[in-house]
């Protein structure tokens, strides 16, 4: 039966969430909790368990036992697929509930969260097919005396650390693929957006996932995340967050058991607009790319590189689009830009807007903070005359702030696009297919969009070049990421003895 939620009304009291370990909800051992305030409404919406090292130890032990006794890894791909398919159905049934709590904790618009949750169900459906099709290889070319088999085996216990900007989406870009491979999980969501991760754990159990295969611990990154990264019984860490914190994950993992790592980190992503593009389409795409999720998006198009010949015309079209964006209450279906998720991030964005002006960039659109009765909101901002030495050009601001720089030819556009330590995503707008192919081949980015932006589906992999991370999520590569390869050599003839 579908769970109906009134997604237009605020909750009367904060909803309590415990941790999820070994198939059940329980409080943290200390009994401590933290209360999450809605960044859009300034009221308490959830109460989350505050875990410590001992909670992590119990969760990891549960996942370790569940992996080692093969209650999941020993099941057929068909059994795993059945659980993933049923979970997809449960996500669709509870779509409005999931979207509601995601919006309250994160501040993102309800129309956006509903779309993201629907896409998450697609992830589980796609991964169910991969659970059945995951396979290795064979080698019948080793001579009559030897036969070779290459198998893919689950890596083991995966520590999954997810951020606050896309709590459910990023979770679901990983969990179904991890489970399809046969691994077990200890998930650590951001302490400010934990609710939907626990809801997913409940749905997986309802769908038939064995106890201990999916566990959730909540709390701070410095305590719970660090404990997970350093734990000797965790075989792999999947981390999504900033490049700076990613370095800490590498250090913590390397200091113990040399865990396998999957890292999706920061980005300073270019949107390249050529004079031969459909400029109106491009203006809409650039506006979407910079404003989606209030710019709190690792693949946000935060740098605009525009051909000088059409720069004035294009910026006029872009500003006309941005003037129509709706900033406000994320529970209003018409809202396009919701609240900034944390006070710290709100302050960071505003400080970069101030810094850009101090560096000499021209603030040509917007002003920053939007005054409202409650919450913290930032409207779209455009900086022109931005040069490569400026911090706003180089740093990931993580807000709806666009830095504009002109170029004169294709080679200059490519050089400028690659002039960053990051390599997560890029977009190009042009009607010239030869130009598009040339740019797409030479720009260093793990995801590349042509005449669109922030598009995709569960079939295509996610990940970055350079300091934007290691490994790939989603697609068939997302299952393979959580496996190890084993070579098996089988003698097929009587052995010729080495010692007579």
Pair 255, 381 in one domain? no
Pair 279, 205 in one domain? no
In a domain, 498, yes or no: no
Q: Confidence band (pLDDT; 50, 70, 90) for 5?
A: low
In a domain, 9, yes or no: no
Q: Are 36 and 45 in contact (CB under 8 A)?
A: yes
**pTM assigned to the model:** 0.95
Averaged pLDDT score across all residues of the chain? 96
Residues facing 16 on adjacent strands: 47
Pair 255, 276 in one domain? no
In a domain, 499, yes or no: no
In a domain, 229, yes or no: yes
Helices (H), 264-409: 279-291, 311-322, 343-359, 391-394
Whether 256 shows a pLDDT value over 90: the answer reads no
Tens digits of residue pLDDT in 103-123 = 999 999 999 999 999 999 999
Burial of 144 (C-beta count, 10 Å sphere; 0-12/13-18/19+): exposed
**Which residue in the block uniquely carries the two structure tokens 């309800």?**
110
Number of domains observed in the structure of the chain? 2
In a domain, 5, yes or no: no
- Distance, in Å, from the CA atom of 379 to the CA atom of 346, rounded to the nearest integer, reads 11
- Distance, in Å, from the CA atom of 266 to the CA atom of 246, rounded to the nearest integer, reads 9
Q: Are 156 and 236 in contact (CB under 8 A)?
A: yes
In a domain, 386, yes or no: yes
For residues 332-336, average pLDDT: 97
Active site residue 298: yes
Percent of the chain surpassing pLDDT 90:
97
CATH number of the domain at 280, please: 3.40.309.10
Closest to 480 in 3D by CA, of 276, 270, 183, 216: 183
Q: Are 166 and 197 in contact (CB under 8 A)?
A: no
Pair 106, 135 in one domain? yes
Classified as helix, coil or strand, 361 is coil
In a domain, 339, yes or no: yes
Tens digits of residue pLDDT in 62-97 = 999 999 999 999 999 999 999 999 999 999 999 999
User: How many helices (H) and strands (E) would you count in the chain?
Assistant: 16, 25
For residues 350-359, average pLDDT: 97
The region of weakest confidence among 154-168, 240-254, 355-369, 385-399 is 240-254
- Distance, in Å, from the CA atom of 153 to the CA atom of 343, rounded to the nearest integer, reads 43
In a domain, 300, yes or no: yes
Q: What pLDDT was estimated at residue 175?
A: 98
Q: What pLDDT was estimated at residue 181?
A: 98
313 Cβ contact partners less than 8 Å away, ≥ 6 residues apart: 279
Task: Give how far the C-alpha of residue 435 lies from the chain's centroid of Cα atoms, to the nearest Å.
Answer: 30
Pair 248, 382 in one domain? no
Task: Give how far the C-alpha of residue 407 lies from the chain's centroid of Cα atoms, to the nearest Å.
Answer: 31
- Distance, in Å, from the CA atom of 403 to the CA atom of 356, rounded to the nearest integer, reads 9
Q: What pLDDT was estimated at residue 275?
A: 98
- Distance, in Å, from the CA atom of 66 to the CA atom of 178, rounded to the nearest integer, reads 14
For residues 199-227, average pLDDT: 97
Q: Confidence band (pLDDT; 50, 70, 90) for 2?
A: very low
Pair 351, 238 in one domain? no
DSSP state string for 396-411: ---SSEEEEEEESSHH
Q: Confidence band (pLDDT; 50, 70, 90) for 314?
A: very high
Pair 325, 229 in one domain? no
Pair 315, 217 in one domain? no
Active site residue 291: no
- Distance, in Å, from the CA atom of 296 to the CA atom of 324, rounded to the nearest integer, reads 20
For residues 34-61, average pLDDT: 97
Whether 400 shows a pLDDT value over 90: the answer reads yes
Pair 236, 260 in one domain? yes
Pair 140, 224 in one domain? yes
For residues 14-31, average pLDDT: 96
Q: Confidence band (pLDDT; 50, 70, 90) for 254?
A: confident
- Distance, in Å, from the CA atom of 283 to the CA atom of 302, rounded to the nearest integer, reads 13
Of 96, 264, 307, 396, catalytic: 264
Q: What pLDDT was estimated at residue 8?
A: 81
Of 120, 183, 229, 298, catalytic: 298
Percent of the chain surpassing pLDDT 70:
99
CB count, 10 Å around CB of 37? Answer: 17
Whether 397 shows a pLDDT value over 60: the answer reads yes
Q: Are 403 and 302 in contact (CB under 8 A)?
A: yes
Please give the C-alpha separations between residue 349 and each of 9, 356, 452, 468, in angstroms, as whole numbers.
29, 11, 26, 20
Tens digits of residue pLDDT in 446-487 = 999 999 999 999 999 999 999 999 999 999 999 999 999 999
Q: What pLDDT was estimated at residue 359?
A: 96
Whether 353 shows a pLDDT value over 50: the answer reads yes
Q: What pLDDT was estimated at residue 150?
A: 97
Closest to 3 in 3D by CA, of 104, 98, 87, 85: 98
Q: What pLDDT was estimated at residue 1?
A: 37
Q: What pLDDT was estimated at residue 129?
A: 97
Quote the domain boundaries for residue 198. Answer: 15-265+468-486
Angle in degrees, CA 260, 266, 267, rounded to 5: 130
For residues 405-425, average pLDDT: 98
Pair 130, 227 in one domain? yes
CATH number of the domain at 151, please: 3.40.605.10
Q: Confidence band (pLDDT; 50, 70, 90) for 4?
A: low
* Helix, strand, coil fractions of the chain, as percent rounded to 5: 40, 20, 40
Pair 234, 339 in one domain? no
């Amino acid at each position: 039966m579908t769970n109906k939620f009134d997604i237009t009304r605020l909750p009367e009291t904060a909803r309590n969430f415990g941790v999820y370990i070994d198939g059940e909800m329980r409080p943290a051992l200390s009994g401590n909790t933290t209360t999450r305030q809605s960044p859009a409404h300034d009221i308490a919406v959830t109460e989350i368990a505050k875990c410590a090292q001992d909670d992590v130890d119990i969760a990891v032990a549960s996942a370790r036992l569940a992996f080692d006794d093969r209650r999941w890894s020993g099941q057929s791909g068909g059994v795993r697929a059945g659980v993933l398919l049923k979970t997809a159905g449960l996500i669709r049934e509870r779509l409005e509930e999931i979207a509601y709590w995601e919006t309250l904790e994160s501040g993102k618009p309800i129309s956006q969260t509903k779309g993201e949750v629907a896409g998450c169900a697609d992830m589980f459906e796609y991964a169910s097919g991969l659970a059945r099709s995951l396979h290795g290889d064979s080698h019948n070319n080793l001579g009559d005396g030897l036969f070779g088999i290459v198998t893919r085996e689950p890596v083991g216990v995966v520590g999954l650390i997810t951020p606050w900007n896309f709590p459910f989406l990023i979770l679901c870009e990983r969990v179904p693929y991890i489970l399809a491979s046969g691994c077990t999980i200890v998930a650590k969501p951001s302490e400010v957006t934990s609710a939907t991760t626990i809801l997913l754990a409940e749905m997986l159990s309802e769908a038939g996932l064995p106890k201990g295969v999916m566990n959730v611990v909540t709390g701070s990154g410095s305590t719970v995340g660090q404990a997970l990264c350093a734990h000797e019984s965790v075989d792999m860490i999947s981390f999504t967050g900033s490049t700076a914190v990613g370095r800490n994950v590498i250090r913590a993992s390397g200091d113990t058991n040399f865990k396998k790592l999957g890292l999706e980190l920061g980005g300073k992503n270019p949107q390249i607009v050529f004079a031969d593009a459909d400029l109106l389409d491009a203006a809409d795409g650039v506006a979407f790319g910079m404003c989606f999720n209030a710019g709190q998006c690792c693949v946000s198009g935060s740098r605009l590189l525009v051909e000088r010949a059409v720069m004035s015309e294009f910026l006029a079209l872009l500003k006309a689009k941005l003037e129509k964006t709706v900033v406000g209450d994320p529970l209003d279906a018409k809202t396009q830009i919701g609240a900034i998720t944390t006070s710290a991030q709100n302050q960071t964005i505003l400080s970069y807007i101030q810094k850009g002006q101090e560096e000499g960039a021209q603030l040509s659109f917007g002003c920053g903070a939007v005054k409202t009765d409650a919450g913290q909101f930032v409207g779209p901002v455009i900086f022109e005359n931005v040069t490569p030495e400026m911090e706003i050009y180089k740093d990931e601001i993580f807000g709806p702030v666009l830095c504009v720089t002109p170029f004169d030819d294709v080679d200059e556009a490519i050089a400028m696009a690659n002039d960053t330590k990051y390599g997560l995503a890029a977009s190009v707008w042009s009607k010239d297919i030869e130009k598009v192919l040339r740019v797409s081949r030479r720009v260093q980015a793990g995801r590349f969009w042509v005449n669109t932006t922030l598009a995709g589906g569960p079939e295509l992999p996610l990940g970055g070049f350079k300091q934007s991370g290691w490994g790939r999520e989603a697609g068939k590569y997302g299952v393979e990421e959580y496996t190890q390869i084993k070579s098996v050599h089988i003698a097929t003839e009587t052995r010729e003895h080495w010692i007579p």
